[in-house]
C-alpha cells in the first residue's frame, strides 16, 4: 500500500498571478506568477512547514487551465530541487467532478513532480448524492490515479455534501487512498475517522483543514493540519503542533499551547470570514508576496473595506507577529 504524507503542518498555498503593474497583466485572467509562487513556497519550507497543497481551494484550482496547473506545480518542484529540498512533499489539488478529467489532472500532477493528489468530494448533484456514489467515484479515481490520493471533504464548496465516517472507513481500505483533509468544524466526525479502530491509521492519515482546532484534533488521532493561517504565520502554527504532540506536557507547556491555540483560532477568523481573499491579503500585507487583490474572476478585489477592515485585526495580528518573531 502507498504511504500517506508525513505528520505535520501543511499549507494550502494561494496561486499567485502577475501584478496589475506588469505588462502581461490581463484583467480577465492574469497570467500565473511562478517567481512569486516559488518565493512563497521556499519561504514556507524554510520556516518548518512539512509540505504544500498546491491548487487546492485556496489555490483557486477551478480558475486554472491544465497547462497553468503544470506550470505552477513543475515550477515549484524544480525550485525545491534546486534549493536542496529534495522530495519535499507536494500535494496537488483537484476540483473537477468528471472522473477522467480528475485522473488526467492527477497524471499531469505526477509528471510535474507532485507526490500526492487531494481530490475534492464532487457536489454538483448534491440533492441526488449518496454515500455509495461517493465511494464509487473515489474508488474509480484511485484505481486510475498514478499517485496516491486523499479525500478532500469541504462541504462549504461541495454544495454541502457530507461524507459520513463509515464511508471513510470503506475508502481507507483502498491501497491508493492514503488520507483525508477535513475542512469543517465537526470535531465528532474528526474523532470518528481519526480514532476509528476500523481504519489502519498507518496507511490512512487524517488531517484537519482548520488550525482553529489543531490542539483538540491531535488528541483524537489527527496527524496534523493543512492550514491557511500557516501560510503567513508558519512558525507559530508549527510550534502549536509540536506542543500538541506532547503526551506529558509541563504546566508551562499546557498554558503555552492553550494560549497559542487561542491566538491561532482568533487569527483564523479572517479566513473564516473572507476565505481565499483573506489569505491572499494577509500573505501580501504580512509577508510581501503577491498583490492583496490578486485573484481571478469571479473573485474580485481584496478584503472589503481594505485598510479600515484590516485595522480591525491589528490586535491579533500584532500578537501573532510577536509570537512568530520569537521563534
Helix (H, G, I), strand (E, B) or coil at 216: helix
Nearest to 117, CA basis, from 96, 131, 86: 96
Is 181 one of the catalytic residues? yes
Q: Are 33 and 261 in contact (CB under 8 A)?
A: no
Measured CA to CA, the distance from residue 255 to residue 260 in angstroms comes to 9
- Number of continuous H segments (helices) and E segments (strands) in the chain: 12, 8
What's the angle, vertex CA 211, arms to CA 234 and CA 198, rounded to 5?
125
Q: Three cell numbers at 209?
A: 483543514
Name the CA radius of gyration of the chain, rounded: 19
Measured CA to CA, the distance from residue 192 to residue 8 in angstroms comes to 20
Of these residues, 67, 110, 144, 181, which one is catalytic? 181
Catalogue the active-site residues: 181
Amino acid at each position: 500500500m502507498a504511504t500517506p504524507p508525513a505528520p505535520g503542518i501543511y499549507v494550502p498555498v494561494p496561486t499567485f498571478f502577475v501584478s496589475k503593474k506588469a505588462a502581461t497583466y490581463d484583467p480577465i485572467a492574469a497570467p500565473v506568477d511562478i517567481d512569486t509562487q516559488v518565493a512563497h513556497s521556499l519561504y514556507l519550507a524554510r520556516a518548518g512547514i512539512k509540505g504544500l497543497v498546491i491548487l487546492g481551494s485556496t489555490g483557486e484550482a477551478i480558475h486554472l487551465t491544465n497547462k497553468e496547473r503544470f506550470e505552477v506545480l513543475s515550477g515549484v518542484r524544480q525550485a525545491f530541487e534546486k534549493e536542496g529540498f529534495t522530495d519535499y512533499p507536494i500535494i496537488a489539488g483537484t476540483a473537477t467532478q468528471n472522473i477522467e478529467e480528475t485522473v488526467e489532472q492527477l497524471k499531469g500532477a505526477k509528471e510535474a513532480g507532485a507526490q500526492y493528489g487531494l481530490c475534492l468530494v464532487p457536489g454538483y448533484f448534491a440533492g441526488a448524492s449518496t454515500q455509495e456514489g461517493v465511494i464509487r467515484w473515489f474508488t474509480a479515481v484511485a484505481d486510475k490515479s498514478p499517485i496516491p490520493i486523499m479525500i478532500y471533504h469541504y462541504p462549504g464548496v461541495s454544495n454541502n455534501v457530507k461524507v459520513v465516517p463509515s464511508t471513510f472507513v470503506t475508502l481507507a481500505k483502498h491501497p491508493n487512498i492514503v488520507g483525508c483533509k477535513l475542512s469543517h468544524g465537526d470535531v465528532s466526525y474528526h474523532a470518528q475517522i481519526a480514532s476509528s479502530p476500523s481504519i489502519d491509521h498507518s496507511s490512512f492519515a487524517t488531517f484537519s483543514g482548520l488550525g482553529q482546532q489543531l490542539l483538540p484534533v491531535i488528541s483524537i488521532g489527527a496527524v496534523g493540519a493543512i492550514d491557511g493561517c500557516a501560510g503567513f504565520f508558519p512558525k507559530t502554527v508549527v510550534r502549536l503542533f509540536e506542543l500538541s504532540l506532547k503526551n506529558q506536557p509541563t504546566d508551562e507547556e499546557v498554558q503555552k499551547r492553550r494560549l497559542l491555540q487561542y491566538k491561532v483560532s482568533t487569527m483564523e477568523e479572517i479566513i473564516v470570514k473572507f476565505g481565499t481573499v483573506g489569505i491572499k491579503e494577509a500573505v501580501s500585507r504580512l509577508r510581501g508576496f503577491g498583490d492583496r487583490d490578486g485573484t481571478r474572476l469571479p473573485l474580485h478585489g481584496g478584503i472589503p473595506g481594505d485598510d479600515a477592515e484590516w485595522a480591525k485585526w491589528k490586535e491579533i495580528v500584532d500578537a501573532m507577529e510577536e509570537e512568530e518573531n520569537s521563534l
